[in-house]
């Protein structure tokens, strides 16, 4: 190719990317007939807007209801004796300031389905565990209350709910 020729070369990556899906550089205007993929996706998301009162008072919209929930009252951490009593007769184990349990399921699909059921129950309870899917059929859950920096009754309630899912 002659020197100074400005013909755009298309490498393997560029050949797979449609020009209308390419992200624009800062300050670059969209060409006529193109659209912003991010803008299209963002317009489809139903994200409630918070009022300044809700922001100042820490009312946070709850995903399940879409309404602002009042701030939670401070939760009380459980003592070591209460944690031990909560773990008796269960397959959950204490790991530092959390309780953990692992399941071995039939296959990857069953592990994903179980993780999704756990996620729905956790969302309904407004208490979110760490979910790890590893191997091809194992799910490990870790429950703790971050705002209390330890275990609370809410962790054991969710653990009992999760145990009923299997």
Angle made by CA atoms 155, 156, 159, in degrees to the nearest 5: 90
Is 145 a domain residue? Answer: yes
Domain extent, residue 20, equals 12-69
For residue 53, name the pLDDT band (cuts at 50, 70, 90): very low
Same domain, 86 and 156: yes
Angle made by CA atoms 55, 53, 43, in degrees to the nearest 5: 60
Same domain, 86 and 158: yes
Nearest by Cα to 159 from 99, 112, 71: 99
Is 100 a domain residue? Answer: yes
Whole-Å CA distances, 54 to 9, 57, 123, 132, 134: 52, 5, 21, 33, 39
Same domain, 110 and 141: yes
Domain-terminating residue out of 69, 94, 109: 69
- What pLDDT score was predicted for residue 164? 94
- What pLDDT score was predicted for residue 115? 97
Query: Given a cut of 90, is residue 155 above it in pLDDT?
Result: yes
- Residues 138 and 131: their CA atoms lie apart, in Å, by 11
CB atoms under 10 Å from CB of 124, counted, come to 14
- What pLDDT score was predicted for residue 133? 96
Token pair listed for 162: 């999760």
Same domain, 90 and 145: yes
For residue 166, name the pLDDT band (cuts at 50, 70, 90): confident
Q: pTM here?
A: 0.57
Q: What is the mean pLDDT of residues 73-91?
A: 90
- Residues 69 and 60: their CA atoms lie apart, in Å, by 6
- What pLDDT score was predicted for residue 63? 52
**Strand, helix or coil at 145?**
strand
31-40, 47-56, 74-83: which is most confident: 74-83
CB 32 within 8 A of CB 14: no
For residue 125, name the pLDDT band (cuts at 50, 70, 90): very high
- Residues 81 and 88: their CA atoms lie apart, in Å, by 11
Q: Where are the extended beta strands (E) located within the chain?
A: 60-61, 68-69, 93-95, 98-104, 130-134, 138-143
- What pLDDT score was predicted for residue 68? 52
């Amino acid at each position: 190719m002659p020197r100074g020729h400005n013909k755009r070369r298309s490498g393997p990556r560029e050949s797979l990317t449609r020009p209308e899906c390419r992200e624009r550089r800062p300050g670059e205007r969209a060409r006529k007939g193109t659209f912003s993929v991010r803008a299209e996706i963002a317009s489809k998301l139903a994200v409630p807007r918070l009022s300044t009162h809700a922001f100042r008072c820490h009312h946070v919209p709850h995903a399940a209801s879409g309404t602002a929930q009042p701030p939670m009252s401070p939760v009380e951490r459980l003592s070591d004796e209460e944690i031990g009593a909560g773990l008796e007769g269960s397959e959950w184990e204490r790991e530092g300031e959390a309780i953990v349990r692992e399941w071995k399921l039939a296959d990857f699909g069953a592990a994903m389905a179980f993780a999704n059921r756990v996620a729905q129950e956790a969302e309904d309870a407004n208490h979110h565990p760490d979910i790890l899917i590893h191997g091809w059929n194992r799910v490990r859950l870790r429950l703790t209350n971050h705002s209390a920096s330890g275990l609370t009754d809410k962790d054991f309630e969710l653990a009992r709910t999760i145990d009923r899912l299997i």
